[in-house]
Amino acid sequence: MSTIPRTLRNIRKVGIKDYLVQMWHDFDAAQIEPGWHAWMSYAVDAVPGDDRLLTAGTRRFEPAMPKPNYTQTRGAFKTYNTTKSKLTAWEPVAAPRS
């Protein structure tokens, strides 16, 4: 039963609008920097602040901010075909009736 008082305390602290935004905000795995992701998945022992190679944006080829994942949104990549179809629809040719 400690969740109800904690929830009410949080609503009183941040307000109803911010509380609802916190509850229904969709987080994306791409929002986590690669260095922190490596640390969270136990791939490395040092946090990104301690290791210069794990900090984001230090290498030339690495973007400063990760690109968000647009899957299941309007911004998702949709493939399309530009080649002419090899199949055509059948159109019957009927003799005119007399």
Contact 37, 54 (CB under 8 A): no
* Average pLDDT in the chain: 80
What pLDDT score does 26 carry? 67
What pLDDT score does 22 carry? 77
pLDDT in tens, 18-66: 888 777 776 667 777 777 888 888 988 888 878 776 666 666 777 666 6
DSSP 18-70: HHHHHHHPPP-GGGS-HHHHHHHTTS-SS-TTT-GGGSTT-STTS-SSPPPP-
What pLDDT score does 57 carry? 63
pTM of the model: 0.41
Per-residue pLDDT for 1 more than 80? no
